[in-house]
Amino acid sequence: RNETSLTSAPTGMGAARGEPLVVLSDVNKHFGDLHVLKDISLSVTRGEVVVVIGPSGSGKSTLCRAINRLEPIDNGTITIDGKELPAEGKELARLRADVGMVFQSFNLFAHKTILDNVMLGPVKAKGIKPAEAKQRAMTLLERVGVANQAAKYPAQLSGGQQQRVAIARALAMQPKVMLFDEPTSALDPEMITEVLDVMTSLARDGMTMVVVTHEMGFARKAADRVIFMDAGQIVEESTPDEFFTNPRSARAQDFLSKLL
Ligand code: ADP
Ligand code: MG
């Protein structure tokens, strides 16, 4: 790993590459009568890129949010690097810091500069000294290609630039896994590539990633595994090659046929 690596999480601790890092066992979740996650079991190994695909309303966002307990679950277990996520408390906050999230909407602090957006988490939540946090933030902004915007405010940046800042901000916390929930869905077409390129580079650097996306080109290129969800269930799990050339389930076949 070189110094400019996007993934700065220490690799000497916890699971080695190829060992389970995020493990969900029999996770269930209801919204009232609606059963949105049905016995979800899923294991993501360190360094793996899992792309989650499925129709709108199939539970993809709920799954992402459940992984760091932004969404409480009814039953089942979720472990990150061998530690079960508790429902609340200090331990939850600490474990949650291991999970970086990037959403469809950029969620940057509007009244803070780009640099502050990336620095603040490490300073406030991790007690990193401001000078060091600033240096790290600038390195990350450099890597996502927006270092020259550091003094600006989010509204002064394009959507693609803001989303790249959001990725840098999540990385600044040195997460063990990054979750992306449709990170390019709100972007103008010409900005999608610049964000996907950053994500591809992150994947190549060995970051463990769970990515919900409709960008099938990215899924084909970057995914180690594709998961197809429908109606709260994991219907199909395969390599991108298998999934796109020979989907097994009727539901996946139907979904893919509508994309063309
Ligand atoms: P996806 O991301 O695949 O489109 P979601 O996880 O957002 O799906 O939603 C799964 C189902 O749960 C949908 O039917 C959605 O309407 C419902 N849902 C999501 N969030 C809530 C909520 N906070 N309250 C009630 N229903 C919800
Ligand atoms: Mg969603």
Query: 18 burial class (0-12, 13-18, 19+ CB within 10 angstroms)?
Result: exposed
- pLDDT, average across residues 212-223: 96
Of 40, 61, 50, 60, give the one whose Cα is nearest residue 20: 50
Is 70 exceeded by the pLDDT of residue 7? no
Q: Is 166 in the pocket of ligand 1 (CB under 6 A)?
A: no
At 183-194, the pLDDT tens digits run 999 999 999 999
Give the number of whichever ligand sits closest to the CA of residue 227. 1
Q: Is 213 in the pocket of ligand 1 (CB under 6 A)?
A: no
Q: Is 36 in the pocket of ligand 1 (CB under 6 A)?
A: yes
**Lowest-pLDDT choice from 12-26, 74-88, 145-159:** 12-26
**Nearest atom, ligand 1, residue 63 CA:** 6
- pLDDT, average across residues 129-145: 97
Of 234, 235, 251, 231, give the one whose Cα is nearest residue 34: 231
- pLDDT, average across residues 104-115: 94
CA of 232 to the centre of ligand 1 (A): 10
Half-sphere exposure of 207 (CA within 13 A, CB side): 29
Q: How confident is the model at residue 260 (pLDDT cuts 50, 70, 90)?
A: low
At 13-65, the pLDDT tens digits run 445 677 999 999 999 999 999 999 999 999 999 999 999 999 999 999 999 99
At 192-216, the pLDDT tens digits run 999 999 999 999 999 999 999 999 9
**Nearest atom, ligand 1, residue 54 CA:** 3
Distance of CA 30 to the CA centre of its chain: 23
Q: Is 60 in the pocket of ligand 1 (CB under 6 A)?
A: yes
Q: Are strands 75-80 and 225-230 parallel, antiparallel or unpaired?
A: unpaired
Is 60 exceeded by the pLDDT of residue 5? no
Q: Enter the pTM of the model.
A: 0.93
Q: How confident is the model at residue 89 (pLDDT cuts 50, 70, 90)?
A: confident
- Alpha helices for 183-249 (secondary structure H): 189-204, 216-222, 240-245
Is 60 exceeded by the pLDDT of residue 84? yes
Distance CA 60, CA 203 (A): 20
Give the number of whichever ligand sits closest to the CA of residue 63. 1
> Residue 115: what pLDDT?
98
Q: How confident is the model at residue 96 (pLDDT cuts 50, 70, 90)?
A: confident
SS3 content of the chain, % helix, strand, coil (to 5): 40, 25, 35
Is 50 exceeded by the pLDDT of residue 12? no
Helix (H, G, I), strand (E, B) or coil at 250: helix
> Residue 13: what pLDDT?
45
> Residue 4: what pLDDT?
46
Find all residues with CB under 8 Å of 220, minimum gap 6, and list them.
240, 241, 244
Ligand 1 pocket: which of 34, 101, 182 to mutate (most atoms within 8 A of CB): 34
**Nearest atom, ligand 1, residue 59 CA:** 6
CA of 201 to the centre of ligand 2 (A): 24
Ligand 1 pocket: which of 62, 179, 213, 233 to mutate (most atoms within 8 A of CB): 62
